[in-house]
Amino acid sequence: MENRQVTERWRAGPGEEDSSGPPLGTVQRLTPAGRGAVATLRLTGPLAELDIPPRPLFCAASGMALSQLPSGRIAFGTVGQDPAEEVVVCRLRTDVMELHCHGGEAALRRIMDDLASRGFLSCDAVWPGTTQFERECHEALALAQTQLAANLVVAQRCGALRHALEQVTAAHPDLSLASERLDAVWRWRRAGLRLTRPFRVALVGRPNVGKSSLINALVGYERSIVFDAPGTTRDVVTAETALAGWGLQLADTAGFRTGAGELETLAMQRARDWLAEADLVLLVLDRSQPLTDEDRALCHDYPQSLWLANKADLAPAWQVRDPLIHSPEIAGELQPDLLPVSAVSGLGLQELKQQIIERLLPALVSGPVALPFTCRQVSHLDQARASLLQGDWDGLTRECALVVGD
């Protein structure tokens, strides 16, 4: 009932709003201030309220209401009247949308004023006087991938990161203790950056080793096409899931093989690009077929990936300690263990999920761990470590304070 009353107050129109109530939603400007070709806004809140007649915010060229747009669908249309502004919108989640408009300040201001009249206030207006760190917490909370991610953001906002960094500077003059405490925070940097976007996990292997079937088994539905013909996967196909409370984007890449045609070669190059940016690579081998030179080449190229002996429900054509896999030429001193798995029977899938999490995280989360969650925070932590190595306590103290926006 309270939200409905707020909505009614904000529905009056520009110049007539009663701003005494709480905001209905928020709007963040993602592009820098100043004139530009395109400006981008992120809206967070009940998007259905923006469809209310007689003046819905967005009029799609297709006639579809804003709240009815499928997630991930891009739509062209207009915002406002006299003059109407041409915009492109993309609904990211049920309550999150990005709006791309002309970068001129006048056009952007008209859209921002229209949104304010409907109860969608800018973050600066909603949280006046807050520090940069506090604003980052609000923004990260809106983008949190899972409940665990949201809880961790809240923990940082409530002082987990600040307290951990205060303990670092309190170690003075013990450099060893300060380094130990700082590294305890710094080692979580990769996980922290994945609170607002999923970890990227890519499967690589030659054609028909069962990558697509494994993706389907891990996410619990048929996201990838499974077919016996080599080259079925021609592009990187992704699916999202969650493991142990962490968001994961799994990528089914094109099979690697020699003698591929032009289209397959292009698909393999796209796969390599994706693999280069992945947080973790799963190298899939077919245990039911003899190992090939293509398998050997992939083992050489991805020695630190998580190696899987797939189709373990079938009669094995080689053993997991096969010299072809564990030769020094391929693995050196790593000698990685192969995990037998089967997408058909489910053999090894639970252990695979556990190993994925262990590879991605420095430790399992059992409480409000302190971690940085933006590139800005990680950059200041890097500077803090550099200062510590030089014995510069003033620089260390300054950079730690900047992490939390002081």
Tell me the DSSP string of 50-84: GG-TTS-SEEETT---GGGSPTT-EEEEEESSSSP
pLDDT band for 109, please (50, 70, 90 cuts): confident
Residue 156 has pLDDT above 50, yes or no: yes
Whole-model pTM: value is 0.66
Contacts of 356 (CB under 8 A, 6+ apart): 201, 243, 248, 280, 282, 306
Residue 111 has pLDDT above 50, yes or no: yes
Instruction: Report domain extents, the chain.
Output: 2-126, 132-188+366-403, 199-360
pLDDT band for 18, please (50, 70, 90 cuts): very low
User: What does each C-alpha distance from 315 to 72, 245, 295 come to in angstroms?
Assistant: 43, 35, 19
CATH of 199-360, one of 3.40.920.10, 2.60.40.3080, 3.40.50.300, 3.20.20.210: 3.40.50.300
pLDDT at 7: 34
How many helices (H) and strands (E) are present in the chain, helices listed first? 16, 13
**pLDDT tens digits, 48-72:** 888 888 788 899 988 888 888 888 7
pLDDT band for 396, please (50, 70, 90 cuts): very high
Gap between the Cα atoms of 61 and 77, Å rounded: 5
Span 342-361, average pLDDT: 95
Residue with tokens 């950056």: 193
Q: Six-digit token pair at 343?
A: 């997408």
Residue 148 has pLDDT above 70, yes or no: yes
pLDDT at 322: 62
pLDDT at 176: 96
CATH of domain 2-126: 3.30.1360.120
pLDDT at 258: 57
Higher per-residue pLDDT: 145 or 35: 145
pLDDT at 6: 32
**32, 74 in Cβ contact below 8 A?**
no
Q: Six-digit token pair at 211?
A: 């990558």
Residue 269 has pLDDT above 80, yes or no: no
**103, 31 in Cβ contact below 8 A?**
yes
Gap between the Cα atoms of 20 and 6, Å rounded: 9
Residue with tokens 């300054």: 398
